[in-house]
Each structure stands twice: as structure tokens, then as C-alpha cells.
Amino acid sequence: MERMVEILKKKFGDCIGKSSDAIPRQLHIQITKDVVVKISRFLVESLEMRFLFLFASDDRKESHCFHLRYVFSIHHLDQFIVLCAPVREEDVTFPSLTPFLPRANWQEREVQDLFGLVAQGHPDPRGLILHEDWPKDIYPFRKDFVQSGKIPRQKGEYIFEKVEGEGVFEIPVGPVHAGIIEPGHFRFSVAGESILKLEIRHFYTHKGTEKLGEGKNPNQLLCLAERISGDNSVSHAAAAAQALETLCGIQIPKRAQCLRVVLLELERIYNHMADIAGVVLDVAFGFGSAQLARSRERAMRLNERLTGSRLLRGMIVFGGVRNDLLDLDMKFLISEIREMKADFDEVIQILWNVSSFMDRVQSTGMIKKEIVETLGGTGPVARASGVDRDLRRDHPYAIYHELLFMVPVFTEGDVESRIKVKMQEVYESFKLIHEAIQGMPEGNTCVAEVATLKPMRSALGYVESPRGECFHWIATDQKGKIARWKIQSPSFSNWPLIEYAVLENIVPDFPVINKSMNLSYSGNDR
């Protein structure tokens, strides 16, 4: 870390300010905002780091300015770098990264909407989070925003990009859908049934979860985290718990680490089974979908028997896990996953021998590796397009560094590849659960005495959720209370990819493509 600071100071001189590596594997460096693009380009192109995300915080009470933070990953060293640039209230502009790093597009637009900071040079500065009826001078994530007040509405219209030409017309879908899914709008430009362009418009039910977390105690925050996206309850809670525990310098007991792995992999199993079942249903193969739905239901009943919750809620707590698993529970769990694997094997073999199913998923919804890398795609969607990346291996947490597992990667980037990734990950999850149980030591499942949060500190927590990389960044104020909570959900990273996945496909294949990616509206509208 010291070497990294020396390199940056030699390259950028006085633009590099104070640095801190008090948090393990996380280096925080103060910079000036005018060199954000230059330093980011140097980190990405010369030092081969990966840009993860950026966000803002309102620190005017303490330092009379806002701050922008840019998070980078050095996967081969298991390190993170966080660049911190102040933005004065009298000049709320900052240079846009988007022309150089398109994956920053939504993130910078989010900062503009929620904090009122302006990304100069952004190629598409339209509103993102706040819709057209929201007043232009009210920024809900600033500290002086009154949450209990009634927001006056104004007239406005979101301008969709047009595709013009003979025989081209638009098909609007949503935001209200026929099923029970949350609202999201899709605007297709088509010629016949062939899709020429798709533009998505989301954030109809933004919950302001990050704002709600301010001032909460750790376990209240974890309760909120579990509700970001219901079927990823464990992932979000575990990532937030890791950030909180890192802030306090807590090392949770080894038994608790093993149990967290078991919970995370149980969550991955029922999610992936549901995803594959959804694709199978959308191609009208009812028998296969019913069998997979039955397997998913068995997995969720197993969750309820072990934890009392089908979604595994309430198990992750600050400092460990709430309840232990008895020897009898573990024997039952091993027996169940053995039978579930045999059942899953049989259904998958049937699927791969149904020609009508294979015809609908092969070469459908292809996303090139270059597009995934450029837009910052993550999780099974990225691995199906040849991106060999998994936080469990590259930035291991809990006891993943002690476990042997394969990261499945395919290169075609189509619906079939996304199914294959999830299918193989289910098998790996079965093995990981068995290995975690076999190596689980005796001992406590939570730290004996939970420490209080330290003031003026910040830390990053992360997990590889079923949908991909899930990051939680938490900062405390001068009194040790939570001052800022940033949630980077995998769905927020992956939604822009669907606009490319559907190109040159036909409209009836959109549900299949959409389900193969299985992006969360709730996780996106966090």
C-alpha cells in the first residue's frame, strides 16, 4: 500500500493528499477533483485495476464540502483503493468519468439526482433516479433534506431516444406489468419483430434505503439490508455486516464464518433454481418448469426448517449469526442436498435433450465480453460472457479462502451460457455447503462482546451474491453513528446490459433474455 501511494505521488504530485490504510486491504487516498479522470485512467490502463463504482456523501457539517469516492479493485493482491475528492458547495461540478469509463454512467447520474452535484462532460445528463415530476432544486440525499415533508410536484416529460425510418415503430412495455413484479418501463424500437433498440426506464419505487440507514444502530441497519432485495436477503445482510465488523476491527468466530458460507450458498441454490425454472417456463416447457419449481420449493422449505425463514432472514447479525445449527440439523442438511442434487441432475438431463428448449436458448440474447467489461457487468451474466471474476475467489471473505470450488465461465454470452453458469454454480454450492459443514469447528456463533462503532471511520463490505458483486460502504460521524451507507447492488450494475442483449433478437425472446439475467427491480430501486 505504501508503494502505491509513492507511485501516485510521483506521478501526480500535490494532487495526492493524505492516505490511510487503517482498514485491512483498503487504501483510502485524498485527491483533488480536477485529476479524477487522469488518476482513474492511470489506475485502469497502467496499473490494470478495475473500477467498481463511485458515490457521493454530504459532509458539509464536518468539512464544509461534499465528497466523491471512487472505488477500485486490485484482484490479484486482494486490495481495494478508494479515491476521495472534495466538492465545494460553491462549485458543485466534477469531471465526468463516463466518456472514459461508460460503467460510471448511471452512477454519476445518480449522484446528480440525489446530491445535486453536476458531472461535467457527461454524454447523457438526463435524470435517472428522480422522475420528471420531481422538483429540480430538491436533493433527497443531502443532510438538510426533510424526509417528513411533502414534495411539491411539477410537470415534465422524459425524452426517450428515437429510432426513425420506414417500418420502424415503438412498443412500450410497463411500467405496470401483468404479473406481480415491481414496475419498470421498456421502450422497444422494432422493425417487424426484430429489436433495433431498447431503452429502459426504472426507479419507479425507489425506497431511499441508504438515507433510511443514517443514524441507525448496526442491527437496525441489517434489518434494512435484508429488505433491499428479498431473494438476496443473506447477501445484502452479510455484506453490510462485514462493513460494520471491519469498522470495529471485529473478527467473527470461525464457526460463524462457516455458517455464513452455508447460508450464502443455500441462497444461491434456490435463486438459481428459480432462474432456470423461469427461463424454461417462458419457452413454454411446462413440465420442466414445474420440476424445477418443485426443487426450488424443497430448497426453501429446507431454509425454513433450518432457520425459521424461507428467505433465511434474521440469521446474519452484527458479530456473527443469530442461531447455531445443531448436529442433527447438519446431518439433515447434508442428506437433503444429496437428494436435491440427484433430483436436479435428472431434470437438467431432461432439459438438455429437449430440442424445442435448446432452439430457444442457443444464440439468444448474446452479450459480448467487451460490452460486459465496458459497462461493468457482474455475476453469472458476466461469467457467461467470458469474464472470469468471482469475489469469493478474488477477494475472499468468511472461510472461502479455505474452500475448493470452481468458478464456471463460458464465452458465448447467450441464454444457454447463463443457464449453464447457474446450473454449475448450483453443483458447486452443494459441494461448498458440504465442505463448510465438514470443516466447521466447535465454538461460539457470535462475538462475546460487540464493540461500538468507531467515529469518523469508513469501510467496505462485499459478497458474491447470486446476481453478482454486492458492495456495502459504511461511514460513521464524529459520534460513531452511521452517517452514510452506500449500496452497490449487482442489478444496478447489470440492468444497462439488457439493452445490448436484446439487439437483433425478436420481441418474443425478450422475456427469455430478461429471465436469464434475472435482474431485481427492488435491488435496483434500493
Residue numbers in the known binding site for Mg(2+) are 210, 487
What residues contact residue 38 under an 8 Å CB cut-off, 6+ apart? 12
User: What DSSP element (H or E) covers 470?
Assistant: strand 468-476
Q: b or e along 172-200 (b: 16 or more beta carbons within 10 Å of the residue's beta carbon)?
A: ebbbeeeeeebebbbbbbbeeeebebbbb
Write the DSSP string, 410-437: -SS-SHHHHHHHHHHHHHHHHHHHHHHH
Q: Residue 279 has which C-alpha cell? A: 427461463
Position of cell 430538491? 138
Residue 200, strand partner residues: 186
**Helices 233-248 and 218-225: crossing angle, nearest 10°?**
150
Q: Residue 129 has which C-alpha cell? A: 433516479
- CA–CA distance, 354 with 358 (Å, rounded to integer): 6
Spatial CA neighbour of 100 closest among 51, 170, 166: 51
Say if CB 456 and CB 476 are below 8 A apart. Answer: yes
Spatial CA neighbour of 202 closest among 151, 131, 154: 131
| Binding site, annotated residues | 210, 487
